[in-house]
Structure 1
Amino acid sequence: MAELLGLGCSHGPIILTPPEVWYKSRERIFGRNPNFQAPPQLIEELGADNGLTQDRLDQQKVVEAFGMMRDRLHEWQPDVLMVIGDDQSENFKQDNLPPFCLYTGEEVDGYPFRNVGGKNNNWDAAPETKFTFQCPKDFSRDMRNSLIRDGIDMASSSSLQGWDWGLAHAIINPLVYLDPEGKFPLLPLFVNCYGEEAGPDYPPRPTAKRCYEVGQSIRRFLDTRDERVAVVASSSWSHSFLAHKFNCSAIDLDTDRRYLELVRQGQGSQLASLTPEELQDSGDHEILNWIIALGILGDVPAEIVDVRESHTQLAYRVAALWG
Structure 2
Amino acid sequence: MARLVGAYMSSHAPQIILQPKVSDEYVAQLAKVHAALMNIGERIRRKGVETLIVFGSDHMETFFLDNYPQLLLFTGESSSAHFGGREVSIRNDTELATHLLYSLLDQGFDVSFSQEMRLDHPFASPLYWVLKTAGDIRVIPFHVNSNVSPRVTPKRCYQLGQAVRRAIESYDGDQRVAVYGTGGLSHYPGTPLYGKVDVEADQLITRKIVEGKGSELANLTSKWLDETGNFELRTWIAALGAVGDVPGEILLYERAYHIGYCVAAVDGV
TM-score, normalised via structure 2 length = 0.91
Partner of 2:136: 183
Partner of 1:215: 161
Change (3 A) 1:318 1:131: closer
Partner of 2:11: 10
The equivalent position to 2:207 in structure 1, one of 252, 261, 265, is: 261
Change (3 A) 1:57 1:8: same
User: CA offset at residue 19 of structure 1?
Assistant: 4.5
Partner of 2:72: 101
Q: Is 1:233 paired with 2:188? A: no
* Structure having the larger proportion of residues in helix: 1
Superposed CA RMSD:
1.9
Q: Is 1:84 paired with 2:55? A: yes
Segments of structure 2 that go 5 or more residues without pairing to the other structure are none
Kindly provide the amino acid, as one letter, of the partner of residue 219 in structure 1.
R
Partner of 1:299: 245
Change (3 A) 1:144 1:257: same
Kindly provide the amino acid, as one letter, of the partner of residue 40 in structure 2.
M
Q: Is 1:318 paired with 2:262? A: yes
Partner of 2:217: 271
Q: Tell me, yes or no, if the aligned pair for 2:74 and 2:114 is still in contact at 8 Å.
A: yes
Q: For residues 135-180 of structure 1, what are the alpha-carbon distances to aligned partners after superposition, in whole Å with 9 as ceiling and x for unaligned?
A: 11111111011011111111111112xxxxx311101221111115
**Percent of aligned pairs with the same amino acid:** 30
Q: For residues 264-317 of structure 1, what are the alpha-carbon distances to aligned partners after superposition, in whole Å with 9 as ceiling and x for unaligned?
A: 11001001111111111111110000000011111111111111123x1x1112
Which whole-Å CA distance do the structure 2 matches of 1:94 and 1:241 have between them? 19
Which whole-Å CA distance do the structure 1 matches of 2:19 and 2:80 have between them? 24
Kindly provide the amino acid, as one letter, of the partner of residue 175 in structure 1.
L
Q: The residue matched to 1:82 in structure 2 has which SS?
A: strand
* Matches for 1:67-216 after TM superposition, within 5 Å: 67-113=38-84, 127=85, 130-160=87-117, 166-180=118-132, 183-196=136-149, 204-216=150-162
Which whole-Å CA distance do the structure 1 matches of 2:223 and 2:102 have between them? 32
Which whole-Å CA distance do the structure 2 matches of 1:258 and 1:235 have between them? 16
Q: For residues 114-155 of structure 1, what are the alpha-carbon distances to aligned partners after superposition, in whole Å with 9 as ceiling and x for unaligned?
A: xxxxxxxxxxxxx3x543221111111110110111111111
Q: For residues 16-63 of structure 1, what are the alpha-carbon distances to aligned partners after superposition, in whole Å with 9 as ceiling and x for unaligned?
A: 23351x3xxxxxxxxxxxxxxxxxxxxxxxxxxxxx132133122112
Kindly provide the amino acid, as one letter, of the partner of residue 270 in structure 1.
E
Segments of structure 1 that go 5 or more residues without pairing to the other structure are 23-51, 114-126, 161-165, 197-203
Q: The residue matched to 1:273 in structure 2 has which SS?
A: coil
The equivalent position to 1:251 in structure 2, one of 187, 197, 202, is: 197
Q: Tell me, yes or no, if the aligned pair for 1:91 and 1:168 is still in contact at 8 Å.
A: yes
User: CA offset at residue 249 of structure 1?
Assistant: 4.6
Q: Tell me, yes or no, if the aligned pair for 1:241 and 1:250 is still in contact at 8 Å.
A: no
TM-score, normalised via structure 1 length = 0.77
User: CA offset at residue 242 of structure 1?
Assistant: 7.0
Which whole-Å CA distance do the structure 1 matches of 2:233 and 2:240 have between them? 10
User: CA offset at residue 81 of structure 1?
Assistant: 1.2
Q: Tell me, yes or no, if the aligned pair for 1:243 and 1:283 is still in contact at 8 Å.
A: no
Larger Rg: 1
Q: Tell me, yes or no, if the aligned pair for 1:243 and 1:251 is still in contact at 8 Å.
A: no
Kindly provide the amino acid, as one letter, of the partner of residue 124 in structure 2.
I
Q: Tell me, yes or no, if the aligned pair for 1:243 and 1:284 is still in contact at 8 Å.
A: no
* Structure having the larger proportion of residues in strand: 2
Kindly provide the amino acid, as one letter, of the partner of residue 72 in structure 2.
C
Q: Tell me, yes or no, if the aligned pair for 1:107 and 1:133 is still in contact at 8 Å.
A: yes
